[in-house]
Amino acid sequence: MNTTQPFTGMYNETTAWTLTFAAWLVASVSTLGALFFGEVMQLPPCVLCWYQRIFMFPLVLILPIGLFPFDRKVVRYALPLAALGWLFAVFHLLLIAGVIPESIKPCTQGVPCSQKVIEWFGFVTIPLLSVVAFSTLIALLVLTYSRSSK
């Protein structure tokens, strides 16, 4: 790329836009995936899954609002959601992995959160997908911020 062109600001903004767009793709795929597990496969979500959904679903709407027209402030609104969702996802993953003992799991009724309802290739569980999605979101949002700040 020609860095001496006068519109370097434009270049950064396009990159930042693409990064936020990618974040929206991740949030949308995660949301549709969660809906597929819950509504199509009829797997009842446990309590921790609901908290992760609470932080994932709004991103599908918040991120596009920052895309048209592009507004770098969208990071300020989206990142707290992604960060909190990530914490719940990590907690859930550790619970499933057995690192966190059963006794402090927050759900006692309904579906136990420590139950693995899906295990693809022997290691891919829903909480793992959730951690991967939230981590990717955080990375993309942080990159958006750094690309659009200068």
Partner 1 sequence: MKQKTLFIVAAVVLLLVFLIGTLAYKSEKTGQSAQLAERNRANLVRMHSPAFGKPDAPVVIVEFFDPACGTCREFYPLVKKMMAANPERIRLVLRYAPFHNGSDKVVAVLEAARKQGKFWPALEVLLGAQASWAPQHTPQVALVWRHLEGLGLNLEQLKVDMTAPEIAHVIAQDIEDARALNVTMTPEYFVNGKPLPSFGYEQLKKLVDDALNEAQRR
Q: What is the largest CA-CA distance in the chain?
A: 62
Q: Nearest distance from residue 29's CB to partner 1, in Å? A: 7
Q: Nearest distance from residue 137's CB to partner 1, in Å? A: 16
How far is residue 21's CA from residue 7's CA, in Å, rounded to a whole number?
Answer: 21
Question: Contacts by 112-121 with C-beta closer than 8 Å and gap 24+?
Answer: 112/46, 113/46, 113/47, 113/48, 113/49, 115/46, 117/37, 117/43, 118/37, 118/43
41 and 85 Cβ atoms separated by less than 8 Å: no
- For residue 7, state whether it binds partner 1 (rule: CB under 8 A): no
Mark residues 49-88: x for contact with partner 1 by CB under 8 A, - for none: ---------------x--xx--------------------
- For residue 35, state whether it binds partner 1 (rule: CB under 8 A): yes
If we measure between CA atoms, which residue out of 133, 132, 88 comes closest to residue 106?
Answer: 88
Determine phi and psi for 33, rounding to 5 degrees. Answer: -60, -45
The residue count for binding partner 1 (CB under 8 A) is 15
Among 11, 12, 15, 21, binds partner 1 (CB under 8 A): 21
CA distances from 23 to 4, 17, 64 (A): 29, 10, 10
- For residue 97, state whether it binds partner 1 (rule: CB under 8 A): no
Among 10, 29, 54, 94, binds partner 1 (CB under 8 A): 29
- For residue 41, state whether it binds partner 1 (rule: CB under 8 A): yes
Mark residues 112-131: x for contact with partner 1 by CB under 8 A, - for none: --------------------
Residues near partner 1, by CB under 8 A: 17, 21, 24-25, 28-29, 32, 35-36, 40-42, 64, 67-68
